[in-house]
Amino acid sequence: MANTQTRRRGTTNTSGAPAAPVAPRPCLDSFVVLAQTDPLSLPADQQVELLQNFERHAAWVESLRLDALVAMAGPGPDYGAAAGHDTEISRNGLEVNDSVRDEAMAALRISGRMAEFRITTARDLHFKLVRTRHLLRDGV
């Protein structure tokens, strides 16, 4: 049987061994397949592809985590009107940020500064950087 070459993301498979599973878009089903793949049984080039696929899935999981954080934290003072909230309510940024930050800090067991940073990042990705958030969800 002839040795075939398979091109994926800039790598070439010349070993003839079965390729590591590659999902077009990260999802739970493709993650299960990756988790069940033994990296030590793969040739070096497929180990690289497996690692790349894990990175894609990590970006996907991060986008889901950020969505959950925005849902918990709400739009915040900068994005209240964009999210359909009364701008008068969302103008009191200190009160909103303190309570949300403290809740995230306790839930995630992180410092107040880190909680505030994560909330700000999640809000920015949700309201300002929508395309970037979609790229994360697509595993880019």
Domain ranges of the chain: 24-34+43-137
The reported pTM is: 0.68
Place of tokens 């497929």: 46
Burial class (CB in 10 A: 0-12, 13-18, 19+), 109: exposed
Beta carbons within 10 angstroms of residue 62's beta carbon? 15
Task: Say which residue, 15 or 130, is predicted with more confidence.
Answer: 130
Per-residue pLDDT band at 21 (split at 50, 70, 90): low
Q: What is the pLDDT of residues 61-111, one digit of tens each?
A: 999 999 999 999 888 766 656 556 554 444 433 334 688 889 999 999 999
Token readout for 105 is 């800090």
Residue 5, pLDDT score: 41
Residue 58: pLDDT above 60?
A: yes
Most confident of 13-22, 26-35, 97-106: 26-35
